[in-house]
Structure 1
């Protein structure tokens, strides 16, 4: 998944970003309301981790803005506001979950998985292709022999983008956008390299090439 972390506490933000990245997700980190809104305008996210108290405004206004635009991206609030009234306000504004600081990272991971499973449009669906079972929300792939297949974070980023639009063609530019989230330069042949790696691990025909247009998951996938 591509995750937007909105957190002005640099110590906590660094810990959360590192932890979520290690789970195989790409993470963009915004420290202010302005940075968060600019990121949301520039890219498509699968999840937002949102602090409420920001130096230039309220995270609640970010959430209200998303829902006003009918953007249903899942949002998990992380805040030191622990009053019941604060939780009610956050949930009523459209939050999908609410964590009170200090945040336990193991609990955060469980909440991320729960939100991924719960909401259809942003859920990373289970996929079976060539007898290989892909459990995206769990970051787990089981091969035909029952052995687990390991993917790098960038390989997951490419596969996630294809799975979310399983029946549609995903352009090279859209896949590059997912890779840009890792903050490294994307060469002209980077997408081809990662698609080739995925084919070696999932099966040669797991990903179809639509010449001149892009890529898609095999039409035989379930």
Structure 2
């Protein structure tokens, strides 16, 4: 399937790869911030925060499912268009494919835009796990991995989210790190770097060049 329709998705993918790279940065001072947040989020404020998390988590998971469904629709329509037995059918399927590609790109951009707020609400490691799910979804959209490859990571993300909103439970950051960090081994950071480098060649204003270099260093070190 042509690369051009996936350009907005590639932007989302390469951008979130930069977020994924934060797994490797220093967390100096984070413990103090966590303790402060715990002290502030007590009583009614804590319950309100839990309710906000539940709502946002559900919205994020729905958005991911929508993006994956749209990617599957694009794949199906593209195959139907190539197998069309008449010009009229081919033109109709081409129109449907164009619409589906646009909607798919918008769906991926939506989950990209939701990720920063998810990191604020859920914390560093839930945000990082969400970025893994998004990157696997992108690889499926590009035809580089099966849809089934997304499910295990999505299941882990849902489990972390569920524990995050359990009033009687509390996830230690070290325990979350142990659960999330191994997931980055399933990602092909080389493909993330290639996506960013392609964008850098298309938009030579320096922004994507710097990001591509950063992602390439991460890929080479992983």
The TM-score, its normalising length taken from structure 1, stands at 0.22
In proportion to residue count, which structure has more strand?
1
The TM-score, its normalising length taken from structure 2, stands at 0.22
Q: Which structure's relative contact order is higher, taking Cα pairs within 8 Å and 6+ residues apart?
A: 2
State the structure with more CA Rg.
2
